[in-house]
Chain A
Amino acid sequence: MRDDVLNKHSHRLRQPADPEGDASYTASLASAGLPPVLRASARLTNVLGRERPVILQEERITMTRTVTTIPEILTPAERSQLGATHRIHELGKVCNVTPGYERIIASGLEPSRSAAVDGLRSASRAERDFLTAVVESIDAVYGLVDRYADEAERCGRPDLSGALSRATRTGATSFLEALQVFRVLHFALWASFNYHNTVGRFDLYFWPYLEADLRAGRLDEAGALELVEEFFLSFNRDSDLYPGVQQGDNGQSLVLGGIDRDGEPVWNLLTDLSLQASLELGLIDPKINLRVSTATPLSQFVTGTRLTARGLGFPQYLNDDVVIPGLVDLGYDEQDARDYAVAACWEFIIPDSGLDVPNIAALSFPNAVDAALREHLATSSTFEVFMTRVREEVTRQANELAAETQGLMMEPSPFLSVLMTGCIERRRDASEGLRYNNYGIHGVGLSTAADSLAAIRHQVFESPDLHVDELISALDSNFEGHDDLRQHLRDDPPKMGNDDDRVDLLAADLLGTFAEALAELRNDRGGRFRAGTGSAMYYVSAAQELGATPDGRKAGEYLSANLAPSLGVKVRGPLSLLRSFTKLPLRTAINGGPVTIEVHDTVFRSANGVEKVAMLVQSFVRDGGHQLQINAINHDVLVDAQEHPELHRNLIVRVWGWSAYFVELDKAYQDQIIQRVELVPA
Chain B
Amino acid sequence: MVLTAEEARQVATTGKDTLGCVLEIEEFGVHDGPGIRTVVFLKGCPLHCSWCHNPEAISFGTEMLPDQVRCAGCGERCLATGSCPSCGQPVPPHESAVGELISAEGLAARVERHASTLTASGGGVTFSGGEPMAQARFVIAAASELSPLHIAVETSGHVSPAVFRRVAGAVDLVMMDVKHTNPEVHRTYTGRTNRLILGNLKQLCEGSTPFIVRIPLIPGVNDGRDNLERTAKLVAGAPALRGVELLPYNTMAPAKYARAGRVFTPGFDTTQSPRIEPSIFERYQIPCEVL
Contacts and interface: CB of A to CB of B under 8 A. Distances in A.
Nearest to B121: A615
A682 B117 contact: no
Contacts of A572: 25, 27
A681 B28 contact: yes
Interface string A646-682: 0000000000000000000000000000000001011
B27 A573 contact: yes
Contact of B26 (A499, A573, A606, A622): A573
A619 B121 contact: yes
Given A575-B28, A623-B117, A682 B39 contact: yes
Interface residues of A, number: 21
A66 interface: no
Given A575-B117, A579-B114, A622-B120, A681 B29 contact: yes
Interface in A479-495: none
Interface stretch (B30-38, B132-140, B168-176, B274-282): B30-38
Contact of A682 (B32, B121, B123, B290): B32
Nearest to A578: B117
Nearest to A576: B27
Contacts of A606: 30-31, 290-291
A130 to B, nearest CB: 54
B37 to A, nearest CB: 8
A126 B16 CA distance: 90
Q: Name the prevailing secondary structure of the A interface residues.
A: helix
Contacts of B41: 682
Given A575-B117, A606-B291, A612 B26 contact: no
Contacts of B30: 603, 606, 608-609, 612, 681-682
Contacts of B32: 682
B36 A682 contact: no
Interface in A562-611: 572-576, 579, 603, 606, 608-609
Nearest to A604: B30
Interface in B22-66: 25-32, 35-36, 38-39, 41
Interface residues of B, number: 22
Nearest to B123: A615
Interface in B257-291: 289-291
A565 to B, nearest CB: 14
Given A573-B27, A682-B27, A619 B289 contact: no
A521 interface: no
Contacts of A608: 30-31, 289, 291
A62 interface: no
A613 B23 CA distance: 24
A631 interface: no
B28 A612 contact: yes
A300 to B, nearest CB: 15
A618 interface: yes
Contacts of A682: 26-30, 32, 39, 41
A583 to B, nearest CB: 12
Contacts of A681: 26, 28-31
Interface in B209-227: none
Contacts of B31: 606, 608-609, 681
A618 B116 CA distance: 12
Nearest to A603: B30
Contacts of A618: 120-121
Interface of A: 499, 572-576, 579, 603, 606, 608-609, 612, 615-616, 618-619, 622-623, 679, 681-682
Given A608-B291, A609-B30, A609-B31, 9 more contacts: A499-B113, A574-B27, A575-B36, A576-B113, A603-B30, A606-B290, A612-B30, A623-B117, A682-B41
Interface of B: 25-32, 35-36, 38-39, 41, 113-114, 117, 120-121, 123, 289-291
29 contacts: A499-B113, A574-B27, A575-B117, A576-B113, A576-B114, A579-B113, A579-B117, A603-B30, A606-B30, A608-B30, A609-B30, A612-B36, A615-B123, A616-B28, A618-B121, A619-B36, A619-B117, A619-B121, A622-B120, A623-B117, A679-B28, A681-B26, A681-B29, A681-B31, A682-B26, A682-B28, A682-B29, A682-B39, A682-B41
